Amino acid sequence: MDVLPNRRARTARGVLFVHASPRAVCPHVEWSAGRALGEAVNFDWSEQPALPGSHRAEYYWEGCPGTGAILASALRGWEQLRFEVTEDAGPGSDGGRWLHTPELGIFYAQTDSVGNVVVPEDRIRSAMERAGANAIELHRELRLALGQTWDDELEPFRQASDLNAVVWLHQVG
């Protein structure tokens, strides 16, 4: 049974980054991702130097709009995973970004055509209302809306290998 409706309408694409998976879970991650994508997948696993004993993989996928959400939902059941799913914006559909860590759970953000996180107006208004005149609290609320805590936790795992340097974009300049 296909999870995706009308598999012929493949107009969305994105990337699954498995930042850290226990070795024993890797085949299960492939099976879960393949079931979500409606086709068998095989990942090119490599060791994750940021967490000895774990492995990492990247997989470029294509599917119907909404496939990123289906993929993230399929993987969030594996609590020990650290992963990131992106879905590019396309004609008539927003992009998305799902981040998951064992400690924080899952975070979702809408993204624009170049991958920037889009914070909806109501979320900004809510943050301003909760923070009142407290600038530090407003800063905290906006960091939460942007998923900064998830980014901070995943950043060390985004390194591809010991041979590749990590690019710390927030430290440029």
What is the per-residue pLDDT across 28-50, written as a single tens digit (0 to 9) for each?
A: 999 999 999 999 999 999 999 99
**What does the pLDDT average to over 126-131?**
96
Per the model's pLDDT, the better-predicted residue between 129 and 166 turns out to be: 129
Residue pair 65/90 in contact (Cβ under 8 Å)? The answer is yes
**What does the pLDDT average to over 67-83?**
95
Residues 6+ apart with CB under 8 A from 16: 33, 57, 58, 59, 61, 71, 75, 83, 84, 85
**What does the pLDDT average to over 112-141?**
95
Please state the φ and ψ torsions of residue 20, each to the nearest 5 degrees.
-160, 125
Token pair for residue 69? 């959400």
For the chain, what's the residue count?
173
pLDDT band for 168, please (50, 70, 90 cuts).
very low
What global pTM score does this model have? 0.83
- For residue 62, the model assigns a pLDDT of 95
- Asked whether residue 162 carries a pLDDT value surpassing 70, the answer given is no
Mind listing the pLDDT tens digit for each residue in 14-26? 999 999 999 999 9
117 - beta bridge partners? 111
- Asked whether residue 165 carries a pLDDT value surpassing 60, the answer given is no
DSSP 3-state of 162: coil
Share of the chain above pLDDT 90, in %: 79
